[in-house]
Structure 1
Amino acid sequence: MKYSIYQRLLRPGALLISGLLVLAASSCKKELVRINKNPNAVENPQPDYLLGAAEKTGADVYWGQSSNFASSQLITQQWAMIQYTDPDRYIFNGSSFSTLWTTTYSSTLTDIKVMMQLGVKQQNNNYVGVGHVLRAWNFQLLTDAFGAVPYSEAGQIETSSLASYDSQQEVYSGILNELDTALTQLDPNGTAIEGDLIYGNNISDWRKFANSLKLRIALRIADADPTLAKATVQQVLSSGELIASNSQNAQFVYKASPNWNPVAANFSTRNDYRISKTVVDQLYSLNDPRLPVFASLPDNNAITKYVGVPNGLTTSDANSLGLANTSKPGSYFLQDTAPAILQTYSEVLFLRAEAAARNLSSEDAAALYQSAITASLNQYGITDASQISSYLNQASVKYDASNFKKSIGNQKWISLFGEGLEAFAEWRRLDYPQLTAAVSGKYGDDIPVRFIYPSTEQTLNGKAYKAAVAEQGTDDLFTKLWFDKN
């Protein structure tokens, strides 16, 4: 089955191809590619500029409003809404999630592809390897959110204006293969790259990120394909190349306006979001030292405690709480230069702990779990040994080998604060923390478990769209994806 997708021509700045190309005869395709040139496009693009652009665009989408704090962070109850609360009540429409889809396909993946092509021409395999890692990360975000997505044929506008959808199982398998390909290309002793705004052109760190992404996918599919999960875990651990400190976290660090963090950009002109009551209550109950990092005290100086907003209030009920009486996210997240975090040392340790708990490795699950929490605390500047020890030794924090999903799920949810899409995927997979649906949610006690496809997929590609959802399941917020087995 074939789908029309919105793809930019394979050059920076080129125009987005209209869905009307579906109607074009194959004999016209070369002419369409020729005439749809942007006269302002760079004729001789350089891979370093394309690399930086792809990283920036991808980070903006991942950390931005549509994919993050207006959707996935609300669903996982990291943030809540104090004004215009429809998204917090799961009232979404066919354009709610379109930014993740359209920008990734039309811009980010296109820049990556051209960068990789130029890397081949320049005989610089490190650009090619970095491109494969970035492709893998972007496709992971897409399939985690939507399920089946164009993967194997995405970006082939020269040969077809259509792109078939691959099942989620096929996409994850393809991502793992692509990361293996990346590792064959990435050579710290090879030709240097430039323009890398994530790792500062450090190829050794890109190799660690590639293996860490493989570990993420291995655990993502652990319930759906335990055999492949185990093989991948063992392969990754034997490599000895994983993110091994907070200094190696994969993150995009923003600069001052206009190249600032999307959260800071939003709060500079709006006042719609607050930290969720779910997070505040949980961190208070654990005496968690990350609370002052994650939340700000209310603007009303008479209130000396952090005040979260219940998720899914009606607009009138939310407004009645008072803008000055509730807690915004912490100043750490509101800074212009706050990083968009792609993957952390803490996450890698949690993944290793879970792999051990599942008998996919012979490592010590409890020790890795404690190390993961410690790494998260350290990430936010909490380094006092006695404070960390006191936190870890609480009965409510100690590792429970009889229910590793509860222990890991609860603590991982805290550590992924701000990383809405990743938190959303892990909450669905581990089923912890056990959240209660939005107070005035549109669907009663049900919480969404996927994003719906952009409405353009229905209007421009109706027949193919219907075939796709017939295979995967109804295109609504509650169709479980392949990896989500429990």
Structure 2
Amino acid sequence: MKKILNIALSVLITTTIFSCDNVDFGDTNNNPNGAGTENTASLLAGAMMRYSRLSGRDYLIRPTLYVQYMSQVTYTDEMRYNEAASDWNGYYVQTLSNLESVIAIANNELLHDPIFLSNGSPENQTGVAKIFQAVIFKRITDTWGDAPYNEALQGFENVSPSYDTQETIYKSIIEMVKEARDMMDTGTLGPKGDIIYDGDVTKWKKFANSLILQLSLQLSKKYPGASGYAATEFKSALNNANGVIDEVEEEAWFKYDQVFQNPWNANRRPDYFMAAEFIDALKGEDSDYNSTSNSSYDARIEYFANDASLNGVPYGFENGSGAGATGMSTLIWNTDTSLPLLTSAYTYLNRAEAANLGWTTETASTLLSEGIMKSYESLEVHWEGPEIADEASDYAAARVLDATTFGLSRVIAEEKWVALFPSGFDAWAEWRRTEIPALTPATDFLNNGTIPRRYVYPTSEATLNSNNYASGVGTLSPSTDNNSSKVWWDQ
């Protein structure tokens, strides 16, 4: 990807010149070619903070509705799949641009002043910035499909960037993560401004490999074979000498405080409740709402729901009632509650799925059990609620037994659905790929009755970047800019 030093006057990403009213330029107003070179630690921290605090319906809540973690009782359009266009400026303008500045400065030795060098070695600063860019580009392409990638982040040099195919983006970011992992050196100074691992390069290398597991497995519908592209990349990352995230203390979590607040705190609207479909699955209820194979009590409900004894709200109706229903736990939406980016539980469950696909020689049932137990442990460590770890082994054993009846693929996917809460975007990407659990679409739907497979492109793309927008729409299935059209890896 072209490295741009000129991000001075604007970080115009797609086609629109944004007003000061709706863009936070953060630290990108300084010119790295001028006397006021940006502080790369501030740029890195700003990108991570902004990404972790993106909120509102488009950036936080919609996917939790689509996978039926949450239900609405008023203002129910999102839960019923309205076809509104969705903005991506928060990703391109407010996060990727800062990271691109870090990379550009690190690649220009003329800008390596004492402040820059005190912020970490150029290779380590670049490596973390590239890995985090990969995280964001995955979010973008999973959410919309084809998108600006190679021509993104060029500012006024290119106000009509072409769209890269999702296949190109995925393969490019996998290579970018490998390059970043391999350039980083644990023997040199780690990056300052790293709000996730505090400059721990060893953990970033594990994160990189775990991210590749996630990226490659997301392509399993396109490359299902054990000797295909996805399996090859998966095995290479799993066997890399730097390892993967397999302990809770190695997990990547965003940390918050009274100033840098958890985004759920500002979005705990009174019309959002836990969905009956999720609550009944956690309780193991034999009900019409529980579409999973689980019939055992899952103690993680005590972390997820504000009152585990209450019911959830049935999903997908224009008018509902929250009377006697539970909302999201305060353990999750307190101002200083940490939120997960990539966990050991998810990594173990990805390994379990790959083993079940025949991509590796690991034992899928063992990894399934370990993933469940790590999920329990991680909640206790990070959210400091009730003690539930003692119940993990019994629940894990019950789910492994369920797999002998219902199949490992189903149980693994269901346990991912639970373990990823409240990370709606990751859960939504997983569900679109596997369609497990077998969720029932909203009854009072506003689209064609299909659980959304993507977001509608931003309105500005159709009006100001029409040719490239049309190419992006053309690769969807069907080739219409609707939320029911499928992106490439979902086809």
Q: TM-score, normalised by structure 1?
A: 0.85
Match of 1:230 in 2: 231
SS in structure 2 at match of 1:162: coil
Question: How many residues are aligned here?
Answer: 443
Amino acid at match of 2:39: Q
Comparing 412-421 and 331-340, the one that deviates more: 331-340
**Structure 1 contact 332–338 (Cα < 8 Å) conserved:** yes
Compared with structure 1, are the counterparts of its residues 306 and 437 closer, same or farther at alpha carbon in structure 2 (3 Å cutoff)?
same
Compared with structure 1, are the counterparts of its residues 431 and 180 closer, same or farther at alpha carbon in structure 2 (3 Å cutoff)?
same
Amino acid at match of 2:234: V
**Structure 1 contact 125–191 (Cα < 8 Å) conserved:** no
1:65 to partner: Cα distance? 3.7
RMSD across aligned positions (CA):
2.5
Cα distance in 1 for residues equivalent to 2:199 and 2:92: 25
Alignment of 1:262-273 (within 5 A): 262-267=263-268, 270-273=269-272
Tell me whether 1:356 sits opposite 2:355 in the alignment: yes
Cα distance in 2 for residues equivalent to 1:199 and 1:359: 33
Alignment of 1:416-431 (within 5 A): 416-431=420-435
Compared with structure 1, are the counterparts of its residues 242 and 18 closer, same or farther at alpha carbon in structure 2 (3 Å cutoff)?
closer
1:118 to partner: Cα distance? 2.2
Which of the residues 241, 244, 247 maps onto 1:245?
247
- Listed one character per residue, the Cα deviations across residues 390-441 of structure 1 (whole Å, up to 9, x for unaligned) are 2123268633497332111111101111100000000111110000111312
Tell me whether 1:114 sits opposite 2:101 in the alignment: yes
- Listed one character per residue, the Cα deviations across residues 355-387 of structure 1 (whole Å, up to 9, x for unaligned) are 111111111111001000111111122766652
Cα distance in 2 for residues equivalent to 1:272 and 1:152: 40
Cα distance in 2 for residues equivalent to 1:195 and 1:212: 22
- Listed one character per residue, the Cα deviations across residues 188-242 of structure 1 (whole Å, up to 9, x for unaligned) are 1123321110111111111111111101011111220241111112211211411
Compared with structure 1, are the counterparts of its residues 266 and 415 closer, same or farther at alpha carbon in structure 2 (3 Å cutoff)?
same
**Structure 2 contact 165–472 (Cα < 8 Å) conserved:** no
Amino acid at match of 1:265: A
Cα distance in 2 for residues equivalent to 1:155 and 1:253: 27
Amino acid at match of 1:480: K
Match of 2:212 in 1: 214
Cα distance in 2 for residues equivalent to 1:384 and 1:38: 49
1:42 to partner: Cα distance? 9.7
Match of 1:476 in 2: 482
Match of 1:301 in 2: none
Structure 2 residue runs of 5 or longer lacking an equivalent are: 18-27, 113-120, 285-295, 381-385
How high is the sequence identity, in percent, across the aligned residues?
A: 28
Amino acid at match of 2:235: Q
Q: TM-score, normalised by structure 2?
A: 0.84
Compared with structure 1, are the counterparts of its residues 16 and 484 closer, same or farther at alpha carbon in structure 2 (3 Å cutoff)?
closer
Match of 1:31 in 2: none
Match of 1:278 in 2: 277
Match of 2:339 in 1: 340
**Structure 2 contact 69–275 (Cα < 8 Å) conserved:** yes
Alignment of 1:65-84 (within 5 A): 65-69=57-61, 71-84=62-75
1:14 to partner: Cα distance? 4.2
Cα distance in 2 for residues equivalent to 1:400 and 1:232: 29
SS in structure 2 at match of 1:271: coil
Compared with structure 1, are the counterparts of its residues 20 and 141 closer, same or farther at alpha carbon in structure 2 (3 Å cutoff)?
closer
Which of the residues 386, 392, 408 maps onto 2:396?
392
**Structure 2 contact 311–325 (Cα < 8 Å) conserved:** yes
Amino acid at match of 2:7: L
Compared with structure 1, are the counterparts of its residues 395 and 185 closer, same or farther at alpha carbon in structure 2 (3 Å cutoff)?
closer
**Structure 1 contact 9–15 (Cα < 8 Å) conserved:** no
- Listed one character per residue, the Cα deviations across residues 283-329 of structure 1 (whole Å, up to 9, x for unaligned) are 111311011110012xxxxxx82221122221xx32x443xx32110
Alignment of 1:431-450 (within 5 A): 431-443=435-447, 445-450=449-454
**Structure 2 contact 209–244 (Cα < 8 Å) conserved:** yes
Cα distance in 2 for residues equivalent to 1:103 and 1:470: 25
Comparing 205-214 and 113-122, the one that deviates more: 113-122
1:350 to partner: Cα distance? 0.5
SS in structure 2 at match of 1:251: strand
Amino acid at match of 1:210: A
1:152 to partner: Cα distance? 1.4
Name the structure with the higher helix share. Answer: 1
Match of 1:177 in 2: 175
- Listed one character per residue, the Cα deviations across residues 105-134 of structure 1 (whole Å, up to 9, x for unaligned) are 112010001112222333621000001101
